[in-house]
Amino acid sequence: MFTPVTQPAEIETVARLAREIWTTHYTPIIGTEQVEYMLARFQSVEAIRQQLHSGMIYMLMPNAAGYFAYEKNSDPLFLSKIYVHQDFRRQGLARKAIAWIQAAEAPHKIRLTVNRHNQTTLAAYQKLGFKKVGEQVADIGDGYVMDDFVMEK
């Protein structure tokens, strides 16, 4: 159901999806400048290549509906990214991705971070069984921070 991202064309697809999803979803939350900065730093083709090289696992959803990425060798497993294109939301893809990770990796816990002002996504994670376990403000450079809740399932 989910395709491992390993080939250049798949990496380019993820970078394209990131741009579409982030621009639409995050611009109202964190603004255009921070979205552009974060896309360049974390979701460009080169950034994704580097993350794959350092052990991050990226998976594409069917029909390029979205993608997710996680750090396999962390405890708890860190779900770094899970993004669904707006045309495919509310179809259970995030739930299926979480179930896939649980089946494939059998983690004791899954941890993720979510922007504290991202109310729709926060509610979706809670519906999927995640609970807030902390808060985190991370300096990501150029005067930007990620102001997140830490959640676990």
Per-position pLDDT tens, the chain of length 153:
899 999 999 999 999 999 999 999 999 999 999 999 999 999 999 999 999 999 999 999 999 999 999 998 888 999 999 999 999 999 999 999 999 999 999 889 999 999 999 999 999 999 999 999 999 999 999 999 999 999 999
Architecture of the domain whose range is 3-108 = 3-Layer(aba) Sandwich (3.40)
Q: What per-residue confidence (pLDDT) applies to 1?
A: 87
How many Å apart are CA 64 and CA 80, to the nearest integer? 18
Yes or no: say if 12 and 43 are a contact pair by the CB < 8 Å rule: no
Domain map of the chain by residue range?
3-108
Residue 65, CA atoms < 13 Å, CB-side half-sphere: 15
Q: Measured at the alpha carbon of residue 77, what is the angle toward residues 74 and 80, in degrees to the nearest 5? A: 100
Q: What per-residue confidence (pLDDT) applies to 103?
A: 95
